[in-house]
Amino acid sequence: MEKYIYRPVRFYMITFACTWFWWLFAILLKEGTGLYLGMFLGLVSPAVVAVVTVFTSKNKALINDFKKKLIGFYRIKPKYILIAVLIFAVIVTASIGTSVLFGGSINQFSFTEDFSFSIGGTSALLTILLASCIEELGWRGYGEDAVGAYNSWFKESIIFGCIWSLWHVPLFWIPGTYQYGLKEMGIMYVINFLFSVIPLDFLQTWVYVKNNRSMLATIIFHLFINIMQEKINMTPETKCIQTNFVVIAAIIIVVINKEMFFETKHVGNLLEEKIMNREIN
């Protein structure tokens, strides 16, 4: 069978065009059913483009790989998910602790009564759950591999982190979104969010690769991050502090896992499961 050639430029051009078209539609309408429809269609665009790209490729290896990443429970290594969850919990705790040391409220260690946003009356928890699943289906379903197929995981994390950050930009102008709330508070919080996504992707990449490129693993971790960001009573200022701890955590993870992040044996052989498993283990 012909070896599959990933096409990252085509994938991201189509994904951004579809996502930003629908989110621009939502921005122009500002309210009502059109707003929520535009929001939803923009959110699912990466997943739809990934699924269509994979299943129209007619490449058996790519299609089977997608299915295994999505439903292959055997790929998951729970200890890495648990470690990742604990790392992020430590990041949150250290961020709040630092804030308290400099005069921040100790109430930040408590849970919020509700979420900070709501889209059309839809449960924010449901929105977060759907967003986590849908985003990972697109990004880990094809997007990250499309970059990783040509680069080390370190370089891939930087490239994809920047792409992932840029993808969120229109959300700052859509009423009701978390990003819209940040824009209302000031440019510093917008910049902090966009920058924080990049080091955070190093954690996501680590979880993804260490779990044999499992989408299920990254969905679990992504969901945990989103819930922690919403249900822990952190102030916007503390979330800026948190970015520094995410950077520190990313550096530590890269240093400890240098072999994983800087190896290039998977380049050109990403769909070869034996090669991937040998490098991971």
Q: Is 214 helix (H, G, I), strand (E, B) or coil?
A: coil
Q: Which amino acid is at 69?
A: K
222 among known catalytic residues? no
Residue 206, both tokens = 């680590």
Please state the separation of Cα 271 from the chain's center in Å: 22
Active-site pick, 113, 136, 144, 168 = 168
Q: Rounded to an integer, what distance in angstroms lies between the CA atom of residue 141 and that of residue 215?
A: 7
- Helix ranges, the chain (H): 8-29, 32-55, 60-71, 78-101, 124-138, 144-148, 153-167, 178-185, 187-210, 215-231, 236-256, 258-262, 273-280
266 among known catalytic residues? no
Under a CB-based contact definition with an 8 Å cutoff, are residues 214 and 72 in contact? yes
Q: Rounded to an integer, what distance in angstroms lies between the CA atom of residue 19 and that of residue 59?
A: 26
Q: Which residues of 233-271 are buried (b: 16+ CB within 10 A; e: fewer)?
A: ebeebbbbbbbbbbbebbeebbeebeebbeeeebeeebb
Q: Rounded to an integer, what distance in angstroms lies between the CA atom of residue 29 and that of residue 6?
A: 36
Active-site pick, 113, 135, 136, 144 = 135
Under a CB-based contact definition with an 8 Å cutoff, are residues 171 and 262 in contact? no
Under a CB-based contact definition with an 8 Å cutoff, are residues 167 and 137 in contact? no
Q: Indicate the angle between helix axes 215-231 and 60-71, nearest 10 degrees.
A: 40
Q: Which of 79, 69, 257 is nearest to 153 (CA)?
A: 257
Positions annotated as catalytic residues are 135, 168
